[in-house]
Structure 1
Amino acid sequence: MIRVTGNNSLLMSSLNTDTDNDTKVVDLLKKSSETEKSSKITGKKSEEYDSVKKSASSLKASAAVLSETGEDSIFAKAEESGDYSDLISLIERFTGDYNSLLESLSDLDTDKSANYSKELKSIISGQSEALQKVGITVDSNGKLVIDEVTLKNADKKELKDLFQGENSVAGKVADKSIYIGANAAADQYVDSCANYTAGGTSAEYVQMANLIGSYLDSLS
């Protein structure tokens, strides 16, 4: 079987190597362990992937809290106390996190990041009129702009309809940000494989990743 150790290395134990597939996995794992340090992404590209992952995580966090339902939700607490200041602050944080993720995706500058930006913007554009009513508009770059006075005086039911629940703007953005962050991590790994050169070829390293993935899938 394959197990993941604390130092994130893959070890093989009790593996039947009679099949061609298993033999290839073993051989490629040995080669990878000898040249592990050469498979790292270097320079600016790695920082850009990290920025996307960090921004996606922050957006997911604020969007998830904003969309939460139930008696402990931020909407329920505001309705009970009559104090909506925390809710307004969270909406402001949500818009800031949204804008940061769009910027990080733009800096990454890949076809996938451009598509992710379009998907996020599509969620917002679908509710553009309702958002404008509560003081949130979209600028020429697709980023959200808040009119603080309008937002603070917005109809609370309209805010709730917009941001609470899994099918709300916040709910959909939360789901999309999880997807974007996970795919950024996966793409970062693939690019890491592409940089593998010492002691083997990039094609071999990618083949190793594919073989391990297929093998792990067969165990589930």
Structure 2
Amino acid sequence: MHDEFFKKAKEDGYVARSAYKLLEINERLHIVRRDAYVIDLGCAPGSWLQVLDGYLSPKGRAVGIDLQRTTAHVSDRVYLMEGDIYATPPKELLAPINELLHGDGKSSDKYDAVISDMAPNTSGHGDDFLSARLCERVLDLCHDLLRPGGNMVMKILEGTPTPDVIARTKRTFREAGTTKPRASRDISREIFIWGKGFSGVELPKLPNPTKITGPTPKPKVWP
């Protein structure tokens, strides 16, 4: 049975109900400024990019990357990339904003915010570990993509490794915490980890890295 957010997404022209998760998170926590440069990791089908497209000022820009095709209709201030966040070099992820700012795509400007609504393909066994690995990748990429003082928000499926991921986020950002927006289903294990004020320092490994094992997860976006 479809809930109010599914119906509202159809009415408002969003490709997925997840749009309202970002809207609520940003209203509450101010992760993304209107003039920000933002990258959305695992952006398909594109509801978060639609939110950014409507929210950002003429000075702001958004970049989205996903293995799957992004179906959302967005303006030319949103740059779409098809690729794997594990395989695409950070310099390629930075190229769109540096092309815009400097005309060469080779300068070193970074994003003001990194956001991610990624989730693994779920099987019911070990999904929390796969989700944590995606979050680990987001935190790794923050070193290359996020400017000092920048902000981040990412989805995780609650489970055994979640406290370690939260702890790592707290060691990396001036402020950090978790939230669960109203648009998340009550039965869903998803929560969102956020960080504000990126320190820019090298992150320590998890205390027990053997917890997060198995093949590299293939990310998908849950509507």
Same fold, TM exceeding 0.5? no
Structure that is richer in strand per residue: 2
Question: Normalization by structure 1: what TM-score?
Answer: 0.27
Structure number, greater radius of gyration? 1
More contact order relative to length (CA 8 Å, sep ≥ 6): 1
